[in-house]
């Protein structure tokens, strides 16, 4: 029972990370360049095309909207 709860929490954490969330205690442990993320809080934005969360430094900003990739930006230009 408790084991299932732990698995559930791990899966939740993985989904959170997959959506662009930050887990500082994991990132710091696994990241070799730990000096960089100290106090480096990045806001995330949802891609206006596919909804994936990206940090603002990784996002492509076009006409006031954030896109996760050039591909999504191209699709948005085509679709709209």
Only one residue has tokens 């679709």, namely: 79
Min dist CB 63 to Zn ion, Å, is 15
Task: Report the residue number, 26 or 70, with the smaller CB distance to Zn ion.
Answer: 70
Interface residues with Zn ion (CB under 5 A) are 47, 49-50, 52, 68, 72
Task: Report the residue number, 19 or 50, with the smaller CB distance to Zn ion.
Answer: 50
- For residue 51, give the nearest of 27, 76, 29, 31 by alpha carbon: 76
Rounded to whole angstroms, how far apart are CA atoms 26 and 37?
12
Min dist CB 29 to Zn ion, Å, is 29
Task: Report the residue number, 45 or 47, with the smaller CB distance to Zn ion.
Answer: 47
Rounded to whole angstroms, how far apart are CA atoms 54 and 68?
6
8 Å CB contact between 68 and 47: yes
Min dist CB 62 to Zn ion, Å, is 12
């Amino acid at each position: 029972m408790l084991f299932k709860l732990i698995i559930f929490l791990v899966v939740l954490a993985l989904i959170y990370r997959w959506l662009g969330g930050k887990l500082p205690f994991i990132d710091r442990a696994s990241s070799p360049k730990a000096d960089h993320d100290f106090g480096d809080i990045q806001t995330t934005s949802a891609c206006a095309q596919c909804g994936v969360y990206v940090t603002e430094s990784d996002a492509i900003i076009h006409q006031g909207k954030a896109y996760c990739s050039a591909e999504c930006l191209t699709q948005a230009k085509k679709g709209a």
